[in-house]
Structure 1
Amino acid sequence: MEQVTQVKPLRSEGRPGNMMERMAASVTRWAEAWFPDAYIFAAIAVIVVALGALAIGAPAQRVGIAFGDGFWSLIPFTMQMAVVAISGYVVAVSPPASKVIARLARLPKTARGAVMFVAFVSVATSLFNWAISLVFSGLLVHALARRNDLRMDYRAAGAAAYLGMGATWALGLSSAAAQLQANPDSLPKTLLAITGVIPFSETIFLPQSMLMVAALTIVSLLIAGLSAPVGERVRTAADLGVRLDDIDMKMDKPARPGDWLEYSPLVTILLVALGLVWVAHEFTTKNPILAISNLNTYNFVFILLGMLLNWRPRRFLNAVAKSVPSTAGVLIQFPLYGGIAFILTKAAAPGGLPLSEHLAHFFVAISSQGSFPALMGVYSAVLGFFVPSGGGKWIIEAPYVIEAAKALQVHLGWSVTVYNAAEALPNLINPFWMLPLLGVLGLRAKDVVGFTFTQLVVHTPLVVFMLWALAPTLAYHPPVMP
């Protein structure tokens, strides 16, 4: 839930300085009045896909059975993505991370430089873990706002803390689509038969993908700095009525003798030591890139890190408890995506093709090898605004996206990158993934959306252009089956 703040009366800011800010204000007012919960969009997507399957002649019974069968098909991946969020939060609020934040907050010399610095930290950390990026960057904004010598616009800094989730996270290690495609055990069998296994070397570690990351990082930092208000237009945390208390992770003393293990690092040391034996085995017996691309390995490493950094089991458990609300959307929406995937791929008319095949044929009909990446990028970005999935939407799109890419002989790994780059764009104005950060900052979506909307206006044409321009530099390879 967003934390509602008691805002003190502010002096007039005057008319917003540019057209983009005025447009963002209008969109925000509309969204606050009419935008429903993200779950509703996922539920509507189920209904629309079911109606589509019925429209091509699939029997209603077959559609219903496909939905029920698919509902549970993503349970392992759902839990894996929930652990991504939990482990990221646990690491970000640990005592060593708090000390790092305090030191980092002393580095910027100017208010505008502070906003750009937050943007850089957010973008950089998002490439490793989007949950760490949200929480760590939000706590950094807190620390910067407590500096009396730095009159920083709290809204602009909050928007900068969100840039990792809105610009680059899906092109990094926590990309759900890339992780899913690199792990055959996590893929539904119906999807695996279509896409095969696509390793990280063909998705996020492509030189073309890394070039996109570099370009988006530079552009994001420039926009964050240039759009940050100065002078009379600055609104500090105090102006907005936001309290800058630290997140309370302090522990009480043991209440009874039986609690001593919860407050002793002994259990942590033994568990981490045991876990490190397995981690060492994974990285010494396998290609390190393949090892880290396994989502179970990725999560295990971050869980061990969270245990170690929080040191005492009680503090670790407190951090886990505080992180759980951020997983609610993943836990309830991903099963719906699994149901959608089965309807798309299994609910066909007798003797006919499933809906995924019809959609693939449609995209082949309106696309060419050259135009496909740009068209799919625009389509995926628009759909992503209505289905904010954190990557789970790939399950819906992959069947017909990959079929179309194979027919047009577009590099399959680049098709995943098309999805990844486009997936991040709607996050810039969709409040769903803002909620954990807004809870840390004590802000509401309307406070930051004007700045993130400005980013969206520039990012969209840049991303679409790069998706189109870089695609011809990659040769098509048939799917690799496990």
Structure 2
Amino acid sequence: MNNTELNFKKEKSRQGETFLTKSANYLSTWSHKYVPDAFVIAVLLTLFVFLIAFFMNPTKPQEIVKSWGDGFWTYLAFTMQMVLLMVTGMTLASVPFMNRALQSIAKLANSPQKAYILTFLISALAYYINWGLAVVVGAIMAKEVAMKNPKAHFPLLVAAAYAPTALYSAGLSSSIGLTIATEDHFLVDVMGVIPTSETIFSASTIIIFLSLLITLPIVIVLIAPKNNIVSLNPNQFTNQTIDKPSRQNLTLAEKLEWTPFLGIILGSIGTFYCVFEFINGSSLDLNIINIFFLSLGLLLHGSLNNFAQGFKEATQSISPIILQFPFYAGIIAVLGSSGLGAGIIEWMASIASTETFDIFTYWSAGLVNLLAPSGGGQWALQGPLQVPAGLKLGVDPATIAMAVGWGDAWTNLIQPFWALPLLGVLGLKIKDIMGYCFILCIWVGIVTSVLMLFLY
């Protein structure tokens, strides 16, 4: 085949692409050229927030720097929770029969279109149950589906696994919805206790959730590239195995390493603890999930040696979490101490009316989330300002809270913070998926804004 024929076929293929596909290709190319590594983004955001904070408080530079340093380690416990979530989840997934089960599900994706839809829906189901669980499930599904379907564009598969992060605020682990449903939450004197029937289980929330659940996979299929497909290298995730020594040659120490007895005992204790806590009303938080994953891994791996090997292999991809999460903790601290976060929120609230207050709350939450990507942390920053302003206009506090939650989840699509675990496990960079996530972010913003105008 000569160059003329090759160029003609490429041009012909381009002419058959949809507007969305061309837009996605353009944004993907642009992202690869101009979107830096996620760590660079975290540093740039830190410097940007510092610059604005110093401009707003020119007489208090020492206080701003101190707030950053004091807040730098605020997420230390959370960082360790996320590290353990990824490592224990991937270790559990490496159990042979778990691996086979996931591969069986992945076989259902026998075309690129089905690959994108299946990855999105499985990840969305996990996000609805618990966002922490979804981080692991999304990574595993994207990997397994990509290995079974080399014609699917791997970066878009990863974007499809990450896209349901926009739905998390309507799920069972919605940090804001669950917070304001507790009797002693920090805004109880202002807004009272708001039951989940008025927030995550309300008709308006369910309508928005289902609308995004149905339309997002359609958009993902429409933006799928037709050319230059990047498939997953199947050798990238080959698990190393340790040959068990012959039973006749085992020393006492080796018998302890290879016996399934110790793992079964400890794993059973941990599993019993999780079941007991859940039955007695404990929420499905990161600590419970981590102990549960750890316990099941100990139960199912067959020996402590097998479990330790799986754990070791899983730890190779979590360095971005350890490195970058403290920087975002520092950013959130500066936003609070400098008044920058409050300024954004108050400006949005000042130009809103009773009818548009929730939409402006949604937009301001999306903007603040780009700098402070934490649902709980953002509610602590935005709630005390947004709720009193909305109540003065007669706005329902339940819709205010959900507007903040939807806004927080919305711009997660273009904020590297929550994508780090997924990208770390799958060996990609934020620029590999940003072009696709940007289009999905636009779609989510339009759909949610329009529906909120009629429903809230």
Name the counterpart of 1:251.
241
Q: Deviations over 1:332-383 (max 9, x none)?
A: 3332333333334445xxxxxx555444432321223432332233344455
**1:422 aligned to 2:407?**
yes
CA distance in 2, matches of 1:16, 1:320: 46
Using the TM superposition, name which of 273-282 and 101-110 deviates more.
101-110
Name the counterpart of 1:395.
377
**1:323 aligned to 2:318?**
no
CA distance in 2, matches of 1:272, 1:78: 24
Structure 1 residues 268 and 418, CA gap change in structure 2 (3 angstroms): farther
Question: Aligned letter for 2:332?
Answer: A
Contact 1:371/1:468 (8 A) holds in 2:
yes
Contact 1:90/1:323 (8 A) holds in 2:
yes
Matches within 5 A, 1:82-161: 82-107=83-108, 112-127=113-128, 128=130, 129-145=133-149, 152-155=151-154, 158=157, 161=160
**1:67 aligned to 2:60?**
no
User: 1:116 deviation in Å?
Assistant: 2.5
CA distance in 1, matches of 2:285, 2:91: 21
- TM-score scaled by length of structure 2: 0.77
User: 1:71 deviation in Å?
Assistant: 1.9
Return the match for 1:220 from 201, 216, 219.
Answer: 216
Contact 1:179/1:293 (8 A) holds in 2:
no
Structure 1 residues 342 and 374, CA gap change in structure 2 (3 angstroms): same
Name the counterpart of 1:407.
389
**1:25 aligned to 2:33?**
no
- TM-score scaled by length of structure 1: 0.73
Q: Identity of paired residues, percent? A: 24
Return the match for 2:263 from 256, 265, 268.
Answer: 268
Contact 1:21/1:450 (8 A) holds in 2:
no
CA distance in 1, matches of 2:53, 2:109: 55
How much is the aligned-residue C-alpha RMSD, in angstroms?
Answer: 4.1
User: 1:453 deviation in Å?
Assistant: 5.1
Contact 1:250/1:315 (8 A) holds in 2:
no
Contact 2:270/2:295 (8 A) holds in 1:
yes
CA distance in 2, matches of 1:302, 1:218: 30
Name the counterpart of 1:371.
356
Q: Deviations over 1:44-64 (max 9, x none)?
A: 333344444442455222222
Structure 1 residues 266 and 200, CA gap change in structure 2 (3 angstroms): farther
Contact 1:242/1:443 (8 A) holds in 2:
no
Structure 1 residues 42 and 194, CA gap change in structure 2 (3 angstroms): farther
Structure 1 residues 135 and 397, CA gap change in structure 2 (3 angstroms): same
Q: Deviations over 1:248-294 (max 9, x none)?
A: 334212467324333332222111222233223323333xxxx1244
Using the TM superposition, name which of 401-410 and 163-172 deviates more.
163-172
Name the counterpart of 1:351.
none
CA distance in 2, matches of 1:342, 1:179: 23
Structure 2 gap ranges (5+): 1-5
Structure 1 residues 367 and 94, CA gap change in structure 2 (3 angstroms): farther
User: 1:403 deviation in Å?
Assistant: 1.5
Contact 1:101/1:143 (8 A) holds in 2:
no
CA distance in 2, matches of 1:64, 1:299: 34
**1:277 aligned to 2:272?**
yes
Question: Aligned letter for 2:134?
Answer: W
User: 1:29 deviation in Å?
Assistant: 2.3
Structure 1 residues 344 and 245, CA gap change in structure 2 (3 angstroms): closer
User: 1:444 deviation in Å?
Assistant: 7.3
Structure 1 residues 15 and 376, CA gap change in structure 2 (3 angstroms): farther
Question: Aligned letter for 1:307?
Answer: L
Question: Aligned letter for 1:63?
Answer: I
Using the TM superposition, name which of 414-423 and 459-468 deviates more.
414-423
Structure 1 residues 184 and 15, CA gap change in structure 2 (3 angstroms): farther
Structure 1 residues 115 and 65, CA gap change in structure 2 (3 angstroms): closer
Contact 1:292/1:298 (8 A) holds in 2:
no
User: 1:462 deviation in Å?
Assistant: 0.7
Q: Deviations over 1:386-425 (max 9, x none)?
A: 55x7x43752564135412332135555445434433444
Name the counterpart of 2:3.
none
CA distance in 2, matches of 1:326, 1:369: 47
Question: Aligned letter for 1:41?
Answer: I
Structure 1 residue matching 2:74: 3-state secondary structure: coil
Contact 1:381/1:426 (8 A) holds in 2:
yes
**Number of matched residues?**
436
Return the match for 2:207 from 204, 211, 214.
Answer: 211
Structure 1 residues 113 and 77, CA gap change in structure 2 (3 angstroms): closer
CA distance in 1, matches of 2:182, 2:96: 33
User: 1:141 deviation in Å?
Assistant: 1.1
User: Higher helix fraction: Structure 1 or Structure 2?
Assistant: 2
CA distance in 1, matches of 2:194, 2:268: 33
CA distance in 2, matches of 1:81, 1:200: 26
Question: Aligned letter for 1:465?
Answer: V
Structure 1 residues 38 and 78, CA gap change in structure 2 (3 angstroms): same
Structure 1 residues 371 and 107, CA gap change in structure 2 (3 angstroms): same
CA distance in 1, matches of 2:239, 2:157: 22
Question: Aligned letter for 2:213?
Answer: T
**1:305 aligned to 2:309?**
no
Structure 1 residues 318 and 72, CA gap change in structure 2 (3 angstroms): same
Matches within 5 A, 1:424-439: 424-426=409-411, 428=413
CA distance in 1, matches of 2:38, 2:17: 31
Name the counterpart of 1:460.
445
